[in-house]
């Protein structure tokens, strides 16, 4: 049984694991008309990396191939995890140019979902730092594409959810760092207007993200903690760490050992957690390790089990900036009114971006999660209406349930994307459960 990170839906999929290009080409040939989809480390939340008939696990496609210490250019296979890149290159003074909130994603998955990070407003998304990639097509050809080479195929592949072909290898540019530490500033915002004002003021910070208490109502609606960060310089690092500033402090991890019983996360426990978290968020500046700053949840392995066996859905939308103040307020009011507190609610101001299928656009993105059950699904339809009314869209990498109406309104590039997809793979061999559900 396979599922995305949300553990909903769970599907019995036939898994094929290629070790090299020959294996991958053979799997694509064998899948033929019945189709297949590539899968990385299963960190997309919904049904994007599932195909009953053939799911191609890229996890054994995990070799680092070449690195240029002058430029920070790394060529690697698509199944390499960001954690492999961090382990290998942070000690040498390099960091991923863009990283999502977990380091357990593959490079191929990060490209296919065109993931973003806390620096989207400054540095764009993951693929903005990809020079080229090798894509396996359904006819067995491997096409190298990039911004200057087969740009059309490249553009459709970023955020293309694996539907334009299977990414085999990529060359990315890493960012030089002098320490493995982050100067983090925490600012408390008592309401939504304040947090939005703070985001506007913080556009010069490299990294910004806010945790938002989505159960706070009326005057406190939108109360949040803004975290903004910069890579720390050596003189900012604690004195006893200055000798080896790139050494990563040992990060302890613990595992969630089993599924939580249903009901552990309810409106009262979540409200209590949020209230405590808000108060514990000490305003001020601190020098923190890069790991806890970027990957707070990675220290809790298998945290997706806290929603119990039925799984959960993550709901991440983005609204255009002019509509954000009103739209985000409407979303938060709906969440608070329904008492459907999300354990993790994240708000961020994204920068400009304009590709066919990329999720980010200039405006505010809100990410929430909810247990996967019938009341959640009908409630999310209410949120969908708000998102649609404000010209927003949902993130395909998180989605397990959106309808085609919202998809079409949110992704005006869809028709062009489909044309490109069909031109390069006329039989439509690359398809996922999500692609079938949404007719991508």
Q: 54 vs 214, which CB is nearer to other proteins?
A: 54
Touching other proteins, residues 85-104 (CB under 8 A): 88
Q: Is 271 in the site for other proteins (CB under 8 A)?
A: no
Q: Name the one residue in this structure whose structure tokens are 């354990």.
A: 343
Q: Is 52 in the site for other proteins (CB under 8 A)?
A: no
Total residues contacting other proteins (rule CB under 8 A)? 15
Q: 63 vs 217, which CB is nearer to other proteins?
A: 63
Q: Is 60 in the site for other proteins (CB under 8 A)?
A: yes
Among 29, 32, 34, 66, binds other proteins (CB under 8 A): 66
In angstroms, the CA 202 to CA 86 distance is 27
Least distance (Å) from other proteins to the CB of residue 185? 35
Q: 19 vs 242, which CB is nearer to other proteins?
A: 19
Among 2, 5, 9, 16, binds other proteins (CB under 8 A): 16
- Residues 372 and 6: beta-carbon distance below 8 Å: yes
At residue 21's C-alpha, the angle toward residues 18 and 25, to 5°, is 80
At residue 220's C-alpha, the angle toward residues 216 and 225, to 5°, is 80
What is the C-alpha R_g of the chain?
Answer: 21
- Residues 172 and 74: beta-carbon distance below 8 Å: yes
Q: Is 20 in the site for other proteins (CB under 8 A)?
A: yes
- Residue 209's nearest CA partner among 176, 182, 237, 181 is 182
Which stretch, 11-19, 44-52, 143-151, 192-200, contacts other proteins (CB under 8 A)? Answer: 11-19
Q: Is 56 in the site for other proteins (CB under 8 A)?
A: no
170 strand-pairing partners: 76, 133
Q: 14 vs 29, which CB is nearer to other proteins?
A: 14
Q: What are phi and psi of 250, to 5 degrees?
A: -55, 125
Preceding omega of 231 cis (within 30 degrees of 0):
no
Q: Is 65 in the site for other proteins (CB under 8 A)?
A: yes
In angstroms, the CA 397 to CA 262 distance is 25
Q: Is 63 in the site for other proteins (CB under 8 A)?
A: yes
Among 17, 186, 206, 248, binds other proteins (CB under 8 A): 17
H-helix or E-strand spanning residue 22: helix 21-31
Q: Is 144 in the site for other proteins (CB under 8 A)?
A: no
Q: Is 209 in the site for other proteins (CB under 8 A)?
A: no
Give how far the C-alpha of residue 433 lies from the chain's centroid of Cα atoms, to the nearest Å.
Answer: 19
Q: Is 14 in the site for other proteins (CB under 8 A)?
A: yes
**Contact positions vs other proteins (CB under 8 A):** 14, 16-17, 19-20, 60, 62-67, 77, 84, 88
């Amino acid at each position: 049984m396979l599922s995305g990170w949300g553990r909903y839906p769970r599907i019995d999929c036939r898994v094929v694991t290629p070790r090299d290009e020959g294996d991958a080409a053979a799997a694509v040939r064998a899948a033929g008309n019945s189709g297949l989809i590539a899968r990385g480390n299963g960190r997309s939340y919904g049904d994007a990396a599932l195909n009953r008939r053939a799911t191609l696990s890229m996890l054994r496609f995990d070799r680092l191939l070449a690195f240029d210490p002058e430029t920070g250019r790394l060529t690697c296979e698509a199944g390499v995890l960001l954690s492999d890149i961090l382990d290998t290159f942070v000690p040498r003074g390099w960091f991923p140019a863009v990283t999502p909130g977990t380091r357990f994603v593959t490079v191929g998955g990060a490209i296919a979902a065109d993931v973003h990070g806390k620096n989207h407003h400054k540095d764009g998304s993951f693929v903005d730092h990809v020079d080229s990639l090798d894509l396996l097509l359904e006819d067995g050809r491997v096409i190298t594409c990039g911004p200057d080479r087969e740009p059309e195929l490249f553009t459709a592949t970023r955020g293309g959810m694996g539907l334009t072909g299977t990414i085999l290898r990529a060359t990315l540019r890493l960012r030089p760092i002098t320490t493995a530490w982050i100067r983090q500033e925490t600012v408390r915002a008592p309401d939504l207007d304040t947090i939005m004002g703070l985001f506007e003021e913080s556009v010069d910070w490299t990294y910004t993200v806010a945790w938002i208490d989505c159960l706070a109502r009326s005057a406190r609606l939108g109360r949040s903690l803004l975290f903004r960060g910069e890579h720390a310089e050596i003189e900012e690092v604690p004195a006893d760490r200055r000798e080896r500033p790139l050494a990563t402090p040992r990060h302890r991890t613990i595992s969630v050992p089993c599924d939580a019983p249903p009901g552990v996360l309810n409106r009262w426990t979540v409200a209590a957690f949020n209230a405590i978290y808000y108060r514990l968020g000490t305003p001020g500046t601190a020098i923190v390790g890069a790991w806890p700053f970027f990957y707070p949840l990675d220290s809790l392995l298998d945290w997706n089990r806290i929603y119990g066996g039925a799984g959960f859905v993550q709901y991440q939308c983005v609204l255009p900036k002019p509509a954000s103040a009103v739209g985000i307020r409407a979303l938060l009011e709906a969440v608070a009114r329904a008492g459907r507190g999300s354990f993790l609610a994240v708000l961020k101001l994204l920068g400009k971006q304009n590709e066919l299928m990329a999720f980010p656009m200039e405006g505010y993105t809100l990410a929430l999660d909810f247990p996967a059950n019938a009341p959640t699904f009908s409630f999310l339809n209410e949120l969908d209406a708000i998102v649609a009314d404000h010209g927003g869209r949902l993130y395909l990498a998180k989605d397990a349930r959106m309808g085609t109406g919202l998809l079409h309104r949110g992704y005006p590039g869809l028709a062009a994307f489909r044309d490109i997809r069909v031109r390069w793979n006329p039989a439509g061999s690359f398809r996922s459960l999500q692609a079938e559900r949404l007719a991508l």
